[in-house]
Amino acid sequence: ATPGGGAAAAAAARERLGITGALPGLWLDSPELRLLELQGDAAAFDDEFNAALGELDGLVKSGHIGGYEVSSALWSASEVEGGEGGDGAAQLPITQVLGDGGDARPGLRGIHLPLNVLEVWGLEVAAVAARRGLRVSATRPHLAVLPEGIFSLAGEGGAAPPPGYAPASAAVLDRFSFVVDEDASEDERALAEGCRWMRQLVNDMHRKLQHFTSPQHFEQEFLTTIMPLIDAKFDGIDEESVEILQGFFMEYGEMVEFYTTQRTRELLTAGALTIAADPMAADAADATVACASGAHALARGEDLGDYCLAWARRQPGVDVVLLDLAAAPGKLWDEARMQQEQ
């Protein structure tokens, strides 16, 4: 969303696609990231963003592109026409894109914004855009990003926990059980301390199972916290121990998916859910999250992803629901095609 970016993007796309005439359109994705680069300087961002939109309008007018669409996650937390959505911490006002008057910008053809059963504030933006004749594309129907955590809105949720978790935990505890006597060398004592630490980590992670809100939440903590801790604690780990740890973390991820799917279903059916505090964090407290779209009549055994996709498709003002196939492959794609045919 910087001045000159539209022309450069159009030229690069024409060359890459071998198009000599006008491009059908361009997609301006997540312009709010530029605000981060500007370290929150809202005035500088407004100047650059308005200039970028003006440039895109000029490209449409000159016939270089057929139109453009703008995508922003912040529209799911914007206050629009007196609405109450979001906490106001970071917003991308809809009027900045649509214009302050009754008409949209001349080259704007549509907007993209997150919309799911837990993030409904984008419906206010969708209503404004729809009244101005723009195509509204809803994104993230199966993934909600809330202050309380990331919630996966897909998964069947089995009747029983995955059977592999308990033996995988026992295997790690057995592998890292090294006891030394009073005559042990310094290296042996260091090894015993490392084993004790690993066993404690496994026990702590077991207590954290009720803390995670989604598989994505666990994956984020695994990459940013757990793995760095292990790397810092051990200079090296033998191949057999690595295989045992990999098996444990794989089974742990399956267990996280089982529990978080159950709790997300509870959140939707009850309309609210209490999230357990992180037992490894000091002064942590339980948190309560409410379902912004109210309680849902999700039938026992009904697939959560199917339900949330159907919900997003029937919302007023929404023309298209976009799926992230990397996050929702296979069955969700098949369900989307079936709903489209119906």
Whole-Å CA distances, 295 to 39, 119, 290, 291: 39, 14, 9, 7
Q: Please tell me the predicted confidence (pLDDT) of residue 96.
A: 64
Q: In the numeric block, which tokens belong to residue 184?
A: 């042990």
Phi, psi of 219 (to 5 degrees): -60, -40
Q: Please tell me the predicted confidence (pLDDT) of residue 155.
A: 77
Q: Which residues are 61's β-sheet partners? A: none
Neighbour-count burial of 309, counting CB atoms closer than 10 A to its CB (0-12 exposed, 13-18 middle, 19+ buried): buried
Q: Please tell me the predicted confidence (pLDDT) of residue 53.
A: 86
Mean pLDDT by 10 residues, the chain (342 residues): 67 84 85 83 84 88 89 67 38 59 74 93 86 90 89 79 94 90 84 91 91 90 90 86 93 93 93 86 84 90 90 94 66 53 58
Nearest to 323 by CA among 83, 115, 35: 115
Q: Please tell me the predicted confidence (pLDDT) of residue 95.
A: 59
Whole-Å CA distances, 332 to 276, 297, 336: 29, 20, 6
3-state SS class at 289: strand
Task: Please give the Cα distance from 137 to 115 (Å, whole number).
Answer: 9
Tell me which residue has tokens 């444990």: 248
Q: Please tell me the predicted confidence (pLDDT) of residue 332.
A: 47
Q: Please tell me the predicted confidence (pLDDT) of residue 35.
A: 79
pTM attached to this predicted model: 0.78
Domain 5-153+307-341 falls in which CATH fold? TIM Barrel (3.20.20)
Q: What are the residue boundaries of the structural domains of the chain, listed by start? A: 5-153+307-341, 165-261
Q: Please tell me the predicted confidence (pLDDT) of residue 86.
A: 39
Nearest to 38 by CA among 5, 93, 88, 1: 1
Whether the Cβ atoms of residue 69 and residue 114 lie closer than 8 Å to each other: no
Whole-Å CA distances, 156 to 176, 257, 302: 35, 10, 7
Task: Please give the Cα distance from 35 to 1 (Å, whole number).
Answer: 10
